[in-house]
Structure 1
Amino acid sequence: MYGEPALPPDFVSLPYANPDAPKGGRIVLGENGGFDSLNPFIEKGKAPPQVSLYTVETLMGRSLDEPFSLYGLLAESISTDSDRSHVEFTLREGARFADGSPVTPEDVIWSFETLGTKGAPRYRGSWAKVAKSEITGPRSVKFTFNTADRELPLILGLRPVLKKAQWEGKDFTASTLEAPIGSGPYVVDKFEPGRFVSFRKNPDWWGKDLPFNRGLHNLDEIRMEYFGIDTAAFESFKAGLLSSYRETNPAKWATNFDFPAVQAGDVVKAEIPHGRPSGIEGLAFNTRKPLFADWRVREALIHAFNFELVNQTLNGGVLPRITSYFSNSTLGMVPGQPAEGRVRELLDPFNAELLPGALEGYILPASDGSEANRKNLRVATRLLEEAGWTVQDGVLKNAAGEPFSFEILLTQGQDDMIGAASIYVEALKRLGISARISTVDSAQYVERTNSYNFDMTHYIRSLSLSPGNEQMNYWGARGVTEPGSRNWPGINSPAAEAMIAVMLSTQDPAEFTAAVQALDRVLITGRYVIPMWYSPVARLAHRSNLRYPEKLPVYGDWPGFQPEVWWEEP
């Protein structure tokens, strides 16, 4: 996006990969939930995300050590102008799909157009900005844009490339257990829906000798085992059925990992630090619902959430709270401080629509950690009264006599989130609010969240150091009515969209940072989510014969790290 890539044209490998890593072996990982499809690129069905990660490739590849740089993968060269009004990709001559057929410009154009018109909603926004696509040579394809967006060449460079001929005469939008034919290092080998899926290394993988791939994809097999609840996955790891286990709860990390394999050194505990933003995780309000349309109601319910008690109960008080969407990075706003300088200039035109705190400074309420949480509940009561809700015979009701009641939708097996919600439900009773927890299987959860059929639900959006077009899918107004977007809270903010537009058009890194900080203020003061916690480190327990390089990427334990750079010692 800015400046020059960190690696020279003749680089040997990515800096966090071991080009001399042994090849072979396997890793078995656990997943909660299940799957009923092998097509992760459409709205219907639930597919393993690893199908996209391991079997399908893109024109360019991401370095986890550089937020704003991509390197050629399927493409040997990329050409664009100073305004980035177009981009031309030239495919590598030897690029092949798993069935041995060449990757062609026709495959690229068909893939991008099909994903942009028939695929999941996350692909549509960028495709709408393509004015023309054309084949310019035996291995070259060019896309011309109709919108000023400097990230578009990078976005298209990360789009999956599928085999056009596989889908002739088939409905691409239909959920299917036919795996896509990709050009990646692995192919889907064996699977049983809802139980496991195995990815086997393609011995004829065309890209194994590319510098970008040296030290990556070292294992012969990656197997994903599916579990209904997290406890079952952990017990399977203890029994030796899983190779690695990612623990998100620091209290369990401190107390549950003293079993014999750890004591004998057969299992190693590793903490992987990172420098990426916290992102947002918590309980999201569906603001499409009249119950949560008033920001004062949402602010009241944020005050009623006793974070300090929940964090102490579930995490031993170890994990820090998410203070804004881009906290833990230079892209985040400083809690409590007013908007200044360029950030203030960007937000001023939207002064009338911004909620309290966006300009003058905002900080999440903190409790004294006691169960009573009296101070914050008093504030919550006042805000609810201002919004027209009063307690009548012990029940919070509006002027029409309707009780304040709602559902918290969660997936089965989310033990920590169910625990947090249970504490919250009890706290809400003190306000006269009736909240109930509903747990459903993963398929029902996908169906309900895609159609926004919920009141409140667990919400998590991992954010990077290079935010861009995906932000419109997360927070753009189209997601208020368009099903299947990532905008579950129903955010409808011209200010947010304007900040994203600046991010996508500027060539100035300082302007970009100011726009993200301004966006951060709009989102956190919108009171769309009750923020919970984040971890500055990942906690991975793994079999001692599994290794990873000492040099860690800035993104740490992020998609592209485990198992991509891992290997098994003979």
Structure 2
Amino acid sequence: MKKTIIMLIILWMTGICPADEASIISTDFSLRDTPKYGQGFTHFDYVNPNAPKGGSVTLSTTGTFDSFNRYAQRGDAAAGSEQLYDTLMTPSDDEIDVLYPLIAEKIEYSKDYTWIIFTINKNARFQDKKPITSADVVFTFNTFMTQGVPQFKSYYKNVSHVEALDTHRVKFTLKKSRLELLHSLAGLAILPKHYWETRDFSAPTTDVPLGSSGFTIDTYKMGQYVVIKRLKDYWAKDLPVNKGRHNFDLIRYDYYKDEIVTLEAFKAGEFDFRMENVAKQWATMYKGDYFDQHHIIKEEIAHDIPQAMQALIFNTQKEVFKDVRVREALTYAMDFEWMNQHLFYNQYTRTRSFFQNTEYQAKGLPSKDEIACLEPVKDKIPPRVYTSEYQPPVTDGSGNIRSQLRTALGILKKAGWQISNRKMTHQKTGQLMEFELLLYSPTMERIAIPFQDNLKKLGITLNIRRVDTTQFINRMRARDFDMITGQYAANPFPSSNLKIVWHSNFFDSTYNTAGVQDPAIDFLTEKIDQNQTDKTALLHYGRALDRVLQYNFFVIPEWHLSKFRVAYWNKFSRPAVRPRYAIGFIDTWWIDKAKQAALPNRNITQ
């Protein structure tokens, strides 16, 4: 007994404590599946661990910027500014929600998922070489809670307290069990306390902030370009999660106002790599001598990555769109088949699910298990959820959509609308149906016009308003719009983050674009949140949620493409294996000096 006490005292004095029998100690953190990379792995499979470092790459982006603070509550942050901070742990791009050591070298968490301890790597340093400590982690969390965007505070309200156990160990304690919240804390970007404690973290800044990553801002011209520099003395450059990655010394982002100008600048050699999102441009404008001579490579890279819900999004807080029947009727005015033939060169597939390209996509009729999931809210969901599979309207592609418009008219009549003097008019109030579609892209304006024309045939006036990106963002944040073109992020699986997007408690979240407040959706997202460790339950609740979202017609679904359309000047080499869930360009490619030397002189700024 005496020897045991002495041993415990020694262990306590040296900072080595025996693991709690009710806790788990690990160097990785997975929500569901067994991690692909075991302890002691040397690098990710999708990198070349011996990739040469050096050189520069120039990229493009649209709009402008006025701040280097990625986390400010206002302003437009510079491209690449999200790279200035490392997180406690970092994901691999060929797994979903599996994290590996970065600033934190290991974790310990309770088996009831009510607390987690991160042990910080003693070699971890900020960019000024000062050590990263548990005090910085505590400061970071508290700063995000008090000065960060409101949804951060809402999402982490279940954290009861965070404390520094010693210089290198920090503990988060939850009010109630939530594995995914513990997992999310591992993705916390760490701020230097000694830099930010005297500054307003919520405000934009034109000062280059001190970071915790291997990147800083080198040079810039406000609103025109910014250059991100790789730090060669970065403390974590040889960690397994970084080996073979981050191979460019300089990454320059040039800002353009117009997409057509941007494309012509690329073809003239003013920047290196472009991912094309416009079908017409891909089909007709990627031509010329440089392509013929293979100085520019045009390539389509197939993938099965989960797809975002790109759509026209209704602001359901607007009176005209509060009635689900109105929202459904307007879906018949989008003739995707005609657009795909005449505008998109048959390159796209219609999106129909908020879990597109995953097993959680609702298909067919609901299973018995899904019906059981829906039973508690059966009286609060559209009855069609049980009787028919949701599909967006389908046309023959001829442009003649009379039958679809007749269907729309029938639905609108049931909702209290009818055509009077060639205008869609509310039968009781006499109100005319007129609303605005808010855009920031000229490309999307071209796509919106056929939709506008079809609505006109229904006596509905659609005003298309294009604004700059800053105004678009500000109006979206304020929910000052009738309808916008936008997207809901891809969902590889039903995560707790769905609450931020759909739950009534997060109504003010910028992610709840449609302004949804629905008790059935609240219930389902809560169940998803509570069942994060139960893969079977997630499958059924995810599909059930998909059905309810589909039949509430919060959006008019647009389209997706399961391939990357990329063009690049032939100066790069890349690993033989692409990460499953990313293209891997910035992360894993490198400059091939032999290829670069064979290129003609270009206008590029190095």
Which TM-score band (shorter chain)? over 0.9
CA contact (8 A) 2:135 2:167 kept: no
Q: Is the 8 A contact 1:246 1:539 kept in 2?
A: yes
Deviation at 1:423, TM superposition (A): 1.1
| Code of the aligned partner of 2:396 | D
Contact in 1 for aligned 2:227/2:252 (Cα 8 Å): yes
* SS of residue matched to 2:179: coil
2:513 aligns to what? 488
Separation (CA, whole Å) in 2 of partners of 1:147 and 1:321: 41
| 2:587 aligned partner | 564
SS of the equivalent of 1:131 reads strand
Matched, 1:97 2:126: yes
The CA deviation at 1:356 is 4.2
> Any idea what the Cα deviations from partners look like across 1:74-94, whole Å, max 9, x if unmatched?
100011122211111011111
2:530 corresponds to 1:505: yes
| Equivalent residue, structure 1, for 2:415 | 387
CA positional deviation for 1:172: 1.7
More deviation in 316-325 or 255-264? 255-264
**What do the CA deviations read for 1:168-211 (whole angstroms, capped 9, x no partner)?**
23222122222332121210111223211110111221110101
Cross-structure match for 2:206: 177
Partner of 2:62: 32
Over 3 Å counting, the alpha-carbon distance change for 1:206 and 1:221 in structure 2 is: same
Matched, 1:240 2:269: yes
**Change in 2 beyond 3 A, CA 1:403/1:501:** same
Confirm or deny that 1:297 pairs with 2:326. yes
346, 355, 368: which one aligns with 2:396: 368
Equivalences for 1:329-478 in 2 at 5 Å? 329-334=358-363, 337-360=364-387, 361-398=389-426, 399-411=428-440, 414-478=441-505
Corresponding letter in the other structure for 2:148: G
Distance in 2 of aligned mates of 1:430 and 1:565:
51
Give the distance between the partners of 2:379 and 2:209, measured in 1 at CA: 49
Greater mean deviation of Cα atoms: 29-38 or 350-359: 350-359
Distance 1:125 1:216 in 2: 34
Q: Where does residue 537 of structure 1 map in the other structure?
A: 563
Residue identity in the other structure for 2:495: G
Indicate the residue corresponding to 2:356 in structure 1.
327
- Residues 327, 333 of structure 1: 8 Å contact kept: no
Unaligned regions of 5+ residues in structure 2, if any?
1-30, 594-606
Matches of residues 105-124 of structure 1 in structure 2 within 5 Å? Answer: 105-124=134-153
1:309 aligned onto 2:338? yes
Structure 2 distance, partners of 1:113, 1:165, is 14
Secondary structure at the aligned position of 1:370 is classed as coil
Question: How far is 1:469 from its partner?
Answer: 2.9
Secondary structure of 2:543's partner? Answer: helix
Q: How does 1:258-297 map to 2 (within 5 A)?
A: 258-297=287-326
| 1:9 aligned partner, one-letter code | Q
Give the 4+ runs in structure 1 shifted more than 6 A: none
Q: Distance in 2 between matches of 1:554 and 1:40?
A: 27
- In the alignment, the residues of structure 2 paired with residue 378 and residue 161 of structure 1 have an alpha-carbon distance, to the nearest angstrom, of 57
Partner of 1:212: 241
Asked if residue 14 in structure 1 is aligned to residue 41 in structure 2, the reply is no
Q: Distance in 1 between matches of 2:568 and 2:349?
A: 25
- 8 Å CA contact 1:272–1:556 kept in 2: the answer is no
Distance in 2 (CA, whole Å) between partners of 1:274 and 1:85 is 37
Q: Which has the higher contact order (CA 8 A, sep 6+)?
A: 1
Is the Cα contact below 8 Å between 2:220 and 2:227 reproduced in 1? yes
Q: Distance in 1 between matches of 2:575 and 2:349?
A: 28
Using the TM superposition, name which of 164-173 and 216-225 deviates more.
164-173
What runs of 5+ residues in structure 1 fail to find an aligned partner? none
- Which moved further from structure 2: 2-11 or 296-305? 2-11
Name the SS of the counterpart of 2:463 in structure 1: strand
Aligned in 2, Cα 1:310/1:117: closer, same or farther, shift over 3 Å?
A: farther
Structure 1 distance, partners of 2:177, 2:369, is 21
Conservation of the 8 A alpha-carbon contact between 2:369 and 2:540: yes
Task: Name the aligned partner's letter for residue 465 of structure 2.
Answer: S
Assess if the C-alpha contact under 8 Å between 2:43 and 2:242 holds in 1: yes
Is the partner of 2:413 in helix, strand or coil? helix
Q: Secondary structure at the match of 1:211?
A: coil
Aligned position for 1:519 = 545
Deviation (angstroms), 1:244: 0.3
The residue that corresponds to 2:223 in the other structure is 194
Distance change (3 Å), C-alpha of 1:148 and 1:374:
farther
Residue in 2 aligned with 1:88? 117
- Identical-pair percentage: 32
Q: Deviations over 1:456-514 (max 9, x none)?
A: 0011122142442321222221343x2x5211101112322333333333222121222
- Distance in 2, matches of 1:87 and 1:476, equals 26
- The question of whether the paired residues in 2 share the 8 Å contact of 1:236 and 1:242 is answered with yes
Amino acid at match of 2:492: L
CA-CA distance at 1:308 after TM superposition: 1.3
CA distance in structure 1 between the partners assigned to 2:382 and 2:288 by the alignment: 51
Q: Which has the larger radius of gyration?
A: 2
CA distance in 2: counterparts of 1:431 and 1:524, whole angstroms: 23
Deviations 1:242-273 (A, max 9, x none): 10011123343233222221111111123233
Superposition map of 1:135-174 within 5 A: 135-174=164-203
SS in structure 2 opposite 1:350?
Answer: helix
Report the equivalent of 1:222. 251
Matched with 1:46 is 76
Partners of 2:81 and 2:178 in 1: CA distance: 29
Residues of 1 paired with 2:391 and 2:216: CA distance?
A: 48
Q: Distance in 1 between matches of 2:71 and 2:138?
A: 16
* Deviates most, 176-185 or 190-199: 176-185
Q: Deviations over 1:415-447 (max 9, x none)?
A: 331112111111100010011111111111111
